[in-house]
Amino acid sequence: MEVRIADNAGFCFGVKRAMKIAWDELENKSENNIYSLGPLIHNKQAVDRYKEKGLVEMDNLEEIPSESKLIIRSHGVAEKVYTESKAKNMEIVDTTCPFVKKIHDIVKDFSHRGYKIIIVGNPNHPEIIGINGWCNNEAIVINKLEEIDDITFDPTQIYCVVSQTTANLESFDKIVQKLKTKINNLTVKNTICFATKERQISAIDLAREVDCMVVIGGKHSSNTQKLVNICKDLVPTFSIETKEELEKEKFAGFKVAGVTAGASTPDWIIEEVINYLKEI
Ligand code: SF4
């Protein structure tokens, strides 16, 4: 079978960079453990590889011994994680994506200048928790347009709105338009990163030129399932996490298969799938 791969598949720039930095640290590690706060990414196979290499995952900073090495994930952390780990003499390996770091800087700067911060995004996502931690966790977090109706805005206050990097541009614009009807002095910082959008556009382009699509990524990964739905509308689509889920007979009659992958899918899993498909 001929196999074509989407232009933007798998890890985005920020995740690729973070995973490489973390891997290099593990390659050169001494006998001491290296820690991360939570999983580096939401991909079990990839995370297992890092664990085998010596990465220890912890949920709280308090659990990590003083003077250890701590890897900060690509979606960043609150300012207090830096101060608390410094107080414990820990060595920080900061893999925060530069696009996320930019939001931390904006939020810190504007809150110091007296602005009330509004963050558009999912309040439970680690990226949002981290961003809020750069303005003393005092931001207003808005996930859905309707939530604005329940918020009382102070007419004497100046506000600055930022977005989660993976926010949908259309939803962000709608929220900003509604906020403008309620707030006199609103500074808008569109901090959306277009890696997700680019991945979706590449998937659509590829699905239009192949007989079927294989989308690799977690069944619970929202960006992967979004790719699955986009492709399904155009061609028969198979959603898998690893090559083991592929069933040869299901590809009978297809000559050209397209492959794309969610943001947490490492290259080696994509390559395994491509090689398997080529052999069909
Ligand atoms: S999606 Fe964008 S902001 Fe998030 S890690 Fe990737 S490149 Fe960075």
The model's pLDDT over 2-26, given as tens digits with 9 standing for 90+, comes to 999 999 999 999 999 999 999 999 9
Q: Which of 12, 94, 168 to mutate to test the pocket of ligand 1 (most atoms within 8 A of CB)?
A: 12
Tokens of 63: 């659990």
Atom of ligand 1 nearest to the CA of 15: 5
What is the model's pLDDT at position 130?
97
Is pLDDT at 32 greater than 90 in this prediction?
no
Atom of ligand 1 nearest to the CA of 12: 6
Point out the least confidently predicted range of 172-176, 218-222, 231-235.
Answer: 218-222
Q: How far apart are CA 100 and CA 211, in angstroms?
A: 37
**Residue 127 falls in the annotated catalytic set:** yes
Give 235's pLDDT tier (boundaries 50, 70, 90). very high
What is the model's pLDDT at position 120?
97
Domains of the chain: 2-10+196-279 (3.40.1010.20), 13-95 (3.40.50.11270), 99-188 (3.40.1010.20)
Long-range Cβ pairs for the range 143-150 (8 Å, 24+): 145/171, 145/174, 145/175, 145/178, 148/175, 148/178, 148/179, 148/182
State if residue 19 touches ligand 1 by the CB under 6 angstroms criterion: no
Q: How far apart are CA 94 and CA 40, in angstroms?
A: 12
State if residue 103 touches ligand 1 by the CB under 6 angstroms criterion: no
Q: What's the average model confidence in pLDDT over 133-145?
A: 97
Which of the following is catalytic: 52, 79, 84, 127? 127
How far is residue 209 CA from its own chain's centroid? Answer: 28
Point out the least confidently predicted range of 101-115, 138-152, 202-216, 219-233.
Answer: 219-233
Question: Which protein residue has the closest C-alpha to ligand 1 atom 2?
Answer: 193
Those residues with Cβ within 8 angstroms of residue 94's Cβ, 6 or more apart along the chain or in another chain: 72
Tokens of 51: 């664990």
Atom of ligand 1 nearest to the CA of 100: 3
Share of the chain above pLDDT 70, in %: 100
Mean of the per-residue pLDDT values of the chain: 95
Question: Which protein residue has the closest C-alpha to ligand 1 atom 1?
Answer: 195
Residue-wise pLDDT tens digits, 145-197: 999 999 999 999 999 999 999 888 889 999 999 999 999 999 999 999 989 88
Q: How far apart are CA 71 and CA 35, in angstroms?
A: 6
State if residue 13 touches ligand 1 by the CB under 6 angstroms criterion: yes
Q: Which of 77, 15, 69, 79 is nearest to 47 (CA)?
A: 15
What are the two backbone dihedrals, phi and then psi, of residue 264, each rounded to the nearest 5 degrees?
-105, 15
Question: Which protein residue has the closest C-alpha to ligand 1 atom 6?
Answer: 14
